Amino acid sequence: MNPEGLDLSIIAPAFAAGALVLATHVPLGAQVLKRGIVFIDLAIAQIAALGVIIAGMAELEAGWIVQLAAASAAVLGALLLTWTERRWPEVQEAQIGVVFVLAATGSLLLLAHNPHGGEHLRDLLAGQILWVRFDQLLLPAIATIVIGFLAFRFEGRLPRVAFYLLFALAVTISVQLVGVYLVFASLIVPALAVRNYPAGRRIAIAFAVGIAGYALGLVLSLVYDLPSGALIVWCLAALAMLVHACGPRAGVAR
């Protein structure tokens, strides 16, 4: 595509979807790093995707039913991880990894005989963010406001089970908008970028990293005709490394 003829209105809904994802994932990402459960996002996102696959196999095609299936699966996964953390806290990260692998391989097994299974799985993982429409964002926007308020209002003070459930609902909304890979990147990459910055500036800078990463990735994907989700992940990572390199050294942040 010729950059001079680039129509930014094409990526406006996708950018809005990315902003909604960042609104919940940036504050939750800080909590995930603090709690030392980095891969919970991948696990819960994969479980939500598994719920979408099960709904599709049952020919439940209504949007709200698919959303309910994904949310139910994610909440069950969150409750399971809450129980494992309480029962075996010393190996929680390993348990999260096992849950992720089981959900991922379960998706492969369920789609094994589906002629379009590979394409469907790829869409769930890498996402189809460029195909998002503004009319799909109303309910996610309302949910994002509620989740974002709770995440900021009770920052660091949510009980274990409440945090996992809130996290599950946020991921359920995000995974159907942007895919599993972008959900994980949106949660972890900005949080990693600002971990050495003063506490009062981390959230704002992390948001800036996320917004810039989505904007740059979407524009470049149109210019070079590359997969949007994958390119946004790389843009987020590149910007995060730059911001981290320009920031204070470990132990300097206050």
Q: Where are the domains of the chain?
A: 3-246
Tokens of 29: 């990402």
Share of the chain above pLDDT 90, in %: 41
Instruction: Report the pLDDT averaged over residues 63-69.
Output: 77
**Are residues 103 and 77 in contact, defined by beta-carbon separation less than 8 angstroms?**
yes
Check residue 242 and give its pLDDT: 97
Give how far Cα 125 sits from Cα of 31, 38, 107, 199, Å: 24, 18, 11, 32
Give per-residue pLDDT as tens, 184-225.
999 999 999 999 999 889 999 999 999 999 999 999 998 998
pTM, rounded to two decimals: 0.85
**Are residues 55 and 65 in contact, defined by beta-carbon separation less than 8 angstroms?**
yes
Alpha carbon distance 91, 250 (integer Å) = 27
User: Tell me, which fold does domain 3-246 have in CATH?
Assistant: ABC transporter involved in vitamin B12 uptake, BtuC (1.10.3470)
Alpha carbon distance 50, 121 (integer Å) = 10
**Are residues 8 and 130 in contact, defined by beta-carbon separation less than 8 angstroms?**
no
Check residue 251 and give its pLDDT: 61
Which has the closest alpha carbon to 50: 180, 177, 169? 180
Alpha carbon distance 104, 42 (integer Å) = 10
Check residue 161 and give its pLDDT: 82
pLDDT at 2 over 60: no
**Are residues 16 and 72 in contact, defined by beta-carbon separation less than 8 angstroms?**
no
DSSP class of residue 137 equals S
Alpha carbon distance 249, 15 (integer Å) = 32
Instruction: Report the pLDDT averaged over residues 75-97.
Output: 89
